Each structure stands twice: as structure tokens, then as C-alpha cells.
Structure 1
Amino acid sequence: MSAAAFNPADIAQGQLDAYNAQDLDAHCAFYSDDVVVADFNGAVIRQGMAAYREAYAKMFAEFPQNHAALVNRVVIGNTVIDHERVARTPGGDTFDVAAIYTIAGGKIARVDFVRG
């Protein structure tokens, strides 16, 4: 996907599909090298691709059946807000997350999470 022709909703969906497939390389390809992950109105949790990749490699290893279902998506300009319902195991407990993706240059530059 070229940066000139990117569609923010497609980027958000692509990273979600790769996340659900636990394809670390494909998932990380949707994020900028200097990606910032933060709690909404809170602290930065991780910054940069090395830290991002390490965190998701660990999560995929710990929860091999983890799955996030898209409940709702709102796209405003280069911002995508996804309401996701996450289950660590099939039929297990779920939790809700709002992921606010900021897209820049055809990649996700920042994610702010609201956890329910």
C-alpha cells in the first residue's frame, strides 16, 4: 500500500487482521518505526518499533488464541477509532478496548488505548 494512496480504514483493518492472525511481521508493517503507544490521557506505554515488536511478540506467545472483534469503527480524516472486544481464549472472558489510531504517511504513528 503506497503512502500516497492509503486509506485510514484499510490500514486499521489490515493491522487488525494481522493481529488476529498473530502475524507479527505483517502486523508491525502497518506501524511507523517511531510508533507511540499510550493510555488515553495518560502515560506513553511504549515508543519505537523495537519496543512495540517485543511487546506484541510476548503477547502472541502468551495468548496464542487471542482475538479482537471489531464492534464499531469511526474514521475522521487520518484518525480511526475502533471499539474492539478482546478474548484471550475462545469462549473466555472478554474486555473492551477503544483504540485511537493516528495515521501519518500511510502508517500508524500513534495509538491511544481506552480500556474498559
Structure 2
Amino acid sequence: MSADLTPEQIVQAQLEAYNAQDVEKFCEYFSEDVFAAGYLGDVICQGIEAWKQRHVKIFAEFPNNTANLVHRIVLGETVIDHEDVSRGNGDANFLVGCIYTIKNARITRVEYVKAS
């Protein structure tokens, strides 16, 4: 991965790898100590190995899973995506806000706001 990528390009590239369910490529865009949590809430996981295993499980459980970008806001090294997620299994789609923090050309933190 090039250190020349902008925060927006990093977030876009990880979204494309996520939709391709390429867990190795997906994880390249995250720091070794990546931290993921619900917005102002519970910790989801911490560290790249936990992040990777979380997505291996998601991709295995939902092989047709996709996240489609609805809107993106870029504020310096913070990127906020509004996504429409389909598990591809016939369940209703859900909306999520993803708040990405980028440092040293890697996503170091991601927080999720899920619409209820």
C-alpha cells in the first residue's frame, strides 16, 4: 500500500476490499493496533488479528455481504461514511455510519453508528 494515499483513498480502498471479501487486502489499510467500537459504546475489537478474525467470520457467515456508500464526509484525517449494508441473505438492509480515523496512512480507529 502506498503512503501517498489520501485518507479518502484509504477508506475507499478498504471498502472495495471489504466488498470483494478479500480479508488480507482489507486488513492492509488498518494499523496493527486498530481499535473498533460502537459510537460512544462497547469495544468491538482491538488489534489487527482480532479485526482480521472478525471479518473472516463475517465473510464466511455472509458470503454475499456488501456495503454500498451513500455519502462520505472527509474532514482532514477523519472520514465519515454513510453505508447501506446488505448481508445478501434476504434479510433487510441496514444503515450504518462509519467514522474512520487515519494516522500514518492507516486506519487506526473505526466507530460505528447503526440505525435502529
TM-score category of the 2 structures, normalised to the smaller one: over 0.9
1:1-116 counterparts in 2 under 5 A? 1-3=1-3, 5-89=4-88, 92-116=91-115
Percent identity of paired positions between Structure 1 and Structure 2: 50
Q: CA deviation at 1:64?
A: 0.2
The AA in structure 1 aligned to 2:25 is: A
Moved over 2 A (4+): none
Aligned residues: 115
Cα deviation, 1:37-60, whole Å, max 9, x if unaligned, reads 011011211000110000000000
Measured in 2, the distance between the counterparts of 1:41 and 1:18 equals 26
Q: For structure 1, list consecutive stretches of 5 or more residues without a partner in the other structure.
A: none
Distance 2:5 2:87 in 1: 31
What is the CA RMSD across the aligned residues, in angstroms? 1.1
Normalization by structure 1: what TM-score? 0.95
Structure 2 gap segments, 5+ residues each:
none
Deviates more, 1:37-46 or 1:85-94: 85-94
Instruction: Give TM-score scaled by structure 2 length.
Output: 0.95
Q: Which secondary structure does the structure 1 equivalent of 2:101 belong to?
A: strand
